Amino acid sequence: PETPPRYNIAPSQAVPAVIQSRETGAREFRPFKWGLVPSWAKDPAIGNRMINARSETAATKPTFRKPLRERRCLILADGFYEWKREGSRKQPHYIKLQSGDPFAFAGLWESWHDKAHPDAPPVETFTILTTDANETVAAIHDRMPVILPAGLVEDWLSAPPDRAQALLAPYAGPVAVRAIAKLVGNPRNDTPDVLADA
């Protein structure tokens, strides 16, 4: 489906993701809220703290281990932002593949049902897995999202859990990094202007 371009996506907002149906094996592309709410959570506000999951511990954490086994997803992007601390201030940077091609983050998704309102539709949410930064990104931050190499996105959706876990590594390909304007610090600024050089 057609989706409008986004330049500044913030946690709690709806983001298109690709999942694989457990029933049919078919791919589905639909919106999920950023910030994973475990199925057992009493309050969906917990999702505000679950925007990322450390890949090193996801298989053992109660919040993430079942989604890692059964509910993986692809979050599509062509870049992401990271902030570098410079003295008392932080400078935002835009990071993309050197080729400029779009890519997929490794994500996990979950479906939460409000037991107080059983007729309400489920709340579908996701989190992005993180790993150690590669050499280029490490100059800015010690962590980065897991970017799946293009040939392995199918494996992430359908491989057995141990094979999927092995994909959670720092991106080995070349990436481009540049400092950008601080407009990106406000999620209301969702225009190409956020990509302007610092």
Tens of pLDDT, residue by residue, the chain (198 residues):
778 899 999 999 999 999 998 788 899 999 999 999 999 999 999 999 999 999 999 999 999 999 999 999 999 999 999 999 988 999 999 999 999 999 999 999 999 999 888 899 999 999 999 999 999 999 999 999 999 999 999 999 999 999 999 999 999 999 999 999 999 999 999 999 999 999
Place of tokens 């930064």: 133
* CA 139, chain centre distance (Å): 21
C-beta separation of 198 from 185 below 8 A: no
Q: Which residues contact 46 (CB under 8 A, 6 or more apart)?
A: 37, 38
- CA dist list (Å): 135 to 112, 170, 173, 174: 37, 9, 10, 10
**CB atoms closer than 10 angstroms to residue 188:** 8
Q: For residue 165, which phi and psi values (nearest 5 degrees)?
A: -60, -35
